[in-house]
């Protein structure tokens, strides 16, 4: 299961509400410009695929298109729409996931990092930085990677609560 939250005034809102389907396309460094454009222009006014030279392909299990340039396409069917004020939350079942072959190694392991995924933080787009841990490293007894040790010491240190004052943000 997954969800997206969309303002009712968006063009996408009506499309997804009527069809009951959508696709989440993960964004890479190379796709950042297109992502921003698609995030500030409405499909009511422009064809975003044409403008950004993106390739549309019909999904495996949904009728709406996936973006072929994206390394991971997550096809979703809406199960419930929850009105939450400014945005309505579309709770959805993941019905198919397509993954670009070029990020698999010879052993069949998928390396999403090699696609240079980006994240959005407070108005900026960022590539990922250094790896700072791995799943379960905090409780692993043997072979604890060095990346975890410093952070753990700092957290449990005597002054770990210092500089921890909070500012209230208006949004
Ligand atoms: C990085 C980014 C994230 C966004 N996230 C959301 C979101 O979660 N929900 C939403 O309703 N709009 C979001 N927006 C705004 C819409 O993408 C924007 O209004 C867009 O023009 C809607 O296109 P449409 O009218 O074709 O649906 C986001 C925009 C950007 C740039």
Q: Is the CB of 92 under 6 A from ligand 1?
A: no
Residue nearest to atom 22 of ligand 1 (CA): 42
**Quick one: which of 9, 5, 73 has its CA closest to 44?**
9
Rounded to an integer, what distance in angstroms lies between the CA atom of residue 119 and that of residue 103? Answer: 19
Residue 168's contacts (CB-CB under 8 Å, 6 or more residues apart) are none
Token duo for residue 164: 């921890």
DSSP 103: G
8 A C-beta contact, residue 115 and residue 103: yes
Compute and round to an integer the Cα radius of gyration of the chain: 20
Q: Is the CB of 11 under 6 A from ligand 1?
A: yes
Cα angle: 3, vertex 169, 129; to 5 degrees: 60
The pLDDT profile of the chain, 171 residues, written as one tens digit per residue, is: 999 999 999 999 999 999 999 999 999 999 999 999 999 999 999 999 999 999 999 999 999 999 999 999 999 999 999 999 999 999 999 999 999 999 999 999 999 999 999 999 999 999 999 999 999 999 998 765 555 555 555 555 555 667 788 888 776
The set of long-range contacts for 118-121, using a CB threshold of 8 Å and a minimum separation of 24, is 118/27, 118/28, 118/29, 118/31, 118/32, 118/35
Give distance in angstroms: CA of 111 to centre of ligand 1. Answer: 28
Q: Is the CB of 40 under 6 A from ligand 1?
A: yes
pTM over 0.85: yes
The per-residue DSSP string of 31-80 comes to: GHHHHHHHHHS-TTT--HHHHTTPPEEE-SSSSSEEETTSSEEEEEEEEE
Q: Is the CB of 39 under 6 A from ligand 1?
A: yes
| Torsion over CA: 41, 86, 15, 73 (sign) | positive
Token duo for residue 35: 């992502």
| Ligand 1 mutation pick, 10, 33, 124, max ligand atoms within 8 A of CB | 10
């Amino acid at each position: 299961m997954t969800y997206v939250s969309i303002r009712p005034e968006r063009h996408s809102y009506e499309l997804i509400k009527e069809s009951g389907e959508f696709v989440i396309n993960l964004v890479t460094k190379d796709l950042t410009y297109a992502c921003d454009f698609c995030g500030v222009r409405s499909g009511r006014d422009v064809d975003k695929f044409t403008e950004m030279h993106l390739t549309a392909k019909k999904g495996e299990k949904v009728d709406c298109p996936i973006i072929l340039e994206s390394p991971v396409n997550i096809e979703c069917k809406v199960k419930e729409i929850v009105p939450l004020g400014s945005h309505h939350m579309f709770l959805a079942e993941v019905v198919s996931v397509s993954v670009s072959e070029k990020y698999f190694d010879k052993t069949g392991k998928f390396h999403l990092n090699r696609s240079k995924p980006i994240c959005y933080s407070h108005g900026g787009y960022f590539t990922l930085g250094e790896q700072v841990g791995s799943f379960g490293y905090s409780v692993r007894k043997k072979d604890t990677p060095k990346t975890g040790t410093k952070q753990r010491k700092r957290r449990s240190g005597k002054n770990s609560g210092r500089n921890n004052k909070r500012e209230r943000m208006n949004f």
